[in-house]
Amino acid sequence: MSHKSAKDFFRPLAVGAPQPLREIPARPSRAIHFFDPSNEKMAAKIPAMVGTVDVLLGNLEDAIKADNKVAAREGLVKIAQETDFGPTQLWTRINALDSPWVLDDLTTLVPAIGEKLDVIMVPKVQGAEDIHYVDRILAQLEAKAGITRPILIHAILETARGVANVEEICGASPRMQGLSLGPADLAADRKMKTTRVGGGHPGYLVREDAPRGADGLPDLDAKRAIFQQDLWHYTIAKMVDACATHGIYPYYGPFGDIKDTVACEDQFRNAFLLGCVGTWSLHPVQIKIANRVFSPSVEDIAHARRVVAAMGDGTGAVMIDGKMEDDASLKQCLVLVELAEKLAEIDPDLKATYDAIETPEA
């Protein structure tokens, strides 16, 4: 089996294509808000949403009927050409690689709006070969169109094979920006017994042990507390590890029950705590939830700043509020402080909130 030299990894895959990035920028992307470019009413709202959400994504794949595929593609081109996105990133989700529409997606979008398009989301990625295919085509199209910066690739984990190959997917190209969990398609591919789009399931639980009766034996008729578990904990954790290993970014995907904002916030927070940097938004109400959840709290930032200030050169250990903080604690705190600084650059309200934090002496 032949292998490409490591020296070639960061060389353009086409003559005249832009130089691949050696490090993926850490741009805030708390909410990736999906919109249908073929829906005129929805498209008309996009300019007003700029600056209110970190990422706007023109969706061309699932949820777009076959009869509307061309209209969605053309609608995205029109929106991109007519809109100044300012601090908001523009992404798109192209059609699946085995579909009859994907080649037209790429050959239309890159020449027309490639300079504005930050990331292309690729659905149902099975392995590194899928990334290699898109990588080469993008390089050829960028070279032909004179695009000056590489368009990045974001893969969706929607199949069991994709999850099994997550490491090779993350390392398949310098263009790799990140991964998202696609719980609905993944559940179907795994033959999981749930019809929910993300979130937990009341049947996936653990139950506390039966209390002991007067005879010292378990009272199996007694009422026992139950604790619903997270169906997606393993997959998200595996995805986070793979992304961290390769210097790219993990995201939770869709939460389908728009009305259940409490459960939505719980799922988003689980993903945030595990290491995800953002999530999808299927409705404007979810943007607010994502922006809140994926922004460190005032309490967390206040504590993190105290630790950073107290640790000095990062060696040794200190006691803060009765808890030991050492170099590992400092690394954890720096993750939050650096994230807060990045978010404050694009979110004036959040900046004012973080600036108002008083950091007492350790």
| Binding site listing for substrate | 93, 158
What value, to the nearest 5°, has the Cα angle with vertex 11 and ends 9 and 16?
150
Q: What phi, psi does 64 have (nearest 5°)?
A: -105, 115
The letter for the amino acid at 3 is: H
H helices of the chain, in order, are 40-44, 46-49, 69-82, 102-113, 128-145, 160-164, 166-170, 183-190, 233-246, 261-274, 284-293, 298-311, 327-346, 348-355
Known binding residues for Mg(2+): 158, 185
The letter for the amino acid at 295 is: S
Q: Which residues of 286-310 are buried (b: 16+ CB within 10 A; e: fewer)?
A: bbebbbebbbbeeeebebbbbbbeb
Token pair in block for residue 56: 């706007």
* C-alpha pair distances (Å), 57 with each of 6, 19, 60, 167: 33, 25, 9, 25
The letter for the amino acid at 162 is: G
* HEC sequence for 202-261: CCCEEECCCCECCCCCECCCCCCCEEECCCCHHHHHHHHHHHHHHCCEEECCCCCCCCCH
* 66, 92 contact by CB (below 8 A): no
Spatial distance between the Cα atoms of 204 and 228, rounded to a whole number of angstroms: 6
The rounded Cα 25 to chain-centroid distance in angstroms is: 14
| Residue with tokens 């960061």, as numbered in its chain | 10
Known binding residues: 93, 158, 185
Residue 107: name the closest of 66, 132, 144, 68 by CA: 144
